[in-house]
A and B are shown apart, each in its own frame.
Chain A
């Protein structure tokens, strides 16, 4: 077990290196020069040359990578090509936005999944169970950007209840901050809740049918107590495993959702970096997202292994 965790941890760092190398190579084979992107249609050859010199883009690729890596290891992510602002602090301030969004979305997903999953298990093989399963299937098929579009149509365009997007730091105006988070968090959370609901239901069914819960019921424990005290606690472990995966999926979903709702998060930064070939931005933001995803995967593996050492992960493409 400890060996397994050690092996996973040992693989973590090389994978991160691998990711950075793959990204570095990928961005350099793609068509389009960052100089031209930053300097626009009026760029003169002199301006492009100056830009490439200033940013070291005229040096061989491996040299660029090594110097970039050396600086990153010292905590310096460089400055954005276009905006000139240091990437590190920018990334940190955006991480808060994205984390807030992901956490709210995750909360919403759980608020839907836990009670409904429990109820479904409780009504196992009765119509209510099928209804909850159907609901999960429906929610899982929603494209999050479409849900976002529908929410804006309903809550902003029609009812004028919520602003269409934007961001205010929580410290500045808590009420407005929360208001602005509602639609993005729902868009991500509802879709995420589908899988969580199914997992919750399945684990609860297993737990309900286990001998020791039956014993507890036989001993005359109240139903509610059984569900909350015993069953839920035991069902939680596999649930958490999937939860970690879902959390990392949320980090993927933020790219589009942040863009729709104008949230200055990491996903939006990644998209800016990609479209404008702003390498420092792109590398830093995509790496950060990769770190979150890898960490979530690691946690899943460790929890999984501690539950069942023989377990072989066969997770799907998504």
Chain B
């Protein structure tokens, strides 16, 4: 049964899982783990290279880069969780109802999804942010919205498959109520692909959030965010290259972790879907 559980797959799950756990810990207990305050300004200590006192140096205002990088995980994880949540819930509602009711209902929703698909994700997120205004909450909403069509299409396609199964027909014939059928019978059967997609969605949410923050459309100062930190670091490339390198590495590792977790989960649950 676990024939497909090769070392590579175990490795994917283990590394992905470890990174995810580390991020969640950083997000939950960031202020407790960081050696120094991520917010404390000390002009005298500005732009220090990495040292024993400041493991990853300091920024333009003398704030500790290591502490800020750890602390920023909170924002990334928060945004990713809420955005994926919005995408998942919206996507399931739309996808399930489209698959179940079909017809004009399905048509309308799917054309609506096409509308969203017509924009490149980051551009759409920027447009939405311009409309909603710059704040962390709005970044979550914007990223959540761009996730909905992906989850909706996946939910719809897999639900259509489930609906064709015989036991559903049986359930229908004995008069099971629609909500019960949708959420008790169909949803559990499509949960696995959605979960895999959600893990990958986490990775993508971290990327989009950092892109928005990079453009100044996300986290509010003095709160640290990786995207903002890269943008600030870009201005100090010659004098303090670590300021641009460190937060980018944090994004890279997080995205890698979530992707590996997603790949691992997919391999684990459905080797057929692999690659």
Residues of A within 8 A of B (CB): 11, 14-16, 18-19, 22-23, 26-27, 29-31, 130, 137-138, 140-143, 145-146, 149-150, 152-153, 157, 198, 201-202, 248-249, 251-253, 255-256, 259, 267, 270-271, 274-275, 286, 289-290, 293-294, 297, 312-318
Contacts and interface: CB of A to CB of B under 8 A. Distances in A.
Contacts of A142: 252
B87 interface: yes
Interface string B158-169: 101000000000
Interface in B197-221: 197, 200-201, 203-204, 207, 210-211, 214-215
Given A26-B131, A143-B207, 5 more contacts: A138-B256, A150-B248, A202-B275, A315-B150, A318-B121
Given A19-B115, A143-B251, A317 B201 contact: yes
Contacts of B150: 315-318
A173 B82 CA distance: 49
19 contacts: A18-B114, A19-B118, A26-B131, A138-B256, A143-B211, A143-B230, A143-B251, A145-B214, A146-B230, A149-B244, A153-B245, A249-B120, A252-B123, A294-B118, A312-B157, A313-B153, A317-B197, A318-B150, A318-B200
A252 B121 contact: yes
B117 interface: yes
Nearest to A292: B120
B256 A141 contact: yes
B71 interface: no
B263 A137 contact: yes
Interface string B226-247: 0000100110011001001100
B133 interface: yes
A154 B117 CA distance: 36
A183 B131 CA distance: 32
Contact of A315 (B8, B133, B153, B245): B153
Nearest to A313: B153
A256 B211 contact: yes
Interface string B179-211: 000000000000000000100110110010011
A314 B203 contact: no
Interface in B65-81: none
A271 B60 CA distance: 27
Contacts of B126: 255, 271, 274
Contacts of B114: 11, 15, 18, 297
A316 to B, nearest CB: 5
A313 B160 CA distance: 12
A140 B153 contact: no
Contact of A149 (B8, B207, B230): B230
B94 interface: no
A316 B214 contact: no
A270 B8 contact: no
Contact of A293 (B117, B148, B203, B233): B117
Contacts of A201: 275
A100 B27 CA distance: 41
Q: Which of A16, A22, A26, A145 has the most CB of B within 10 A?
A: A145
A15 B204 contact: no
A293 B105 CA distance: 25
A138 B119 CA distance: 26
Contacts of A252: 119-123
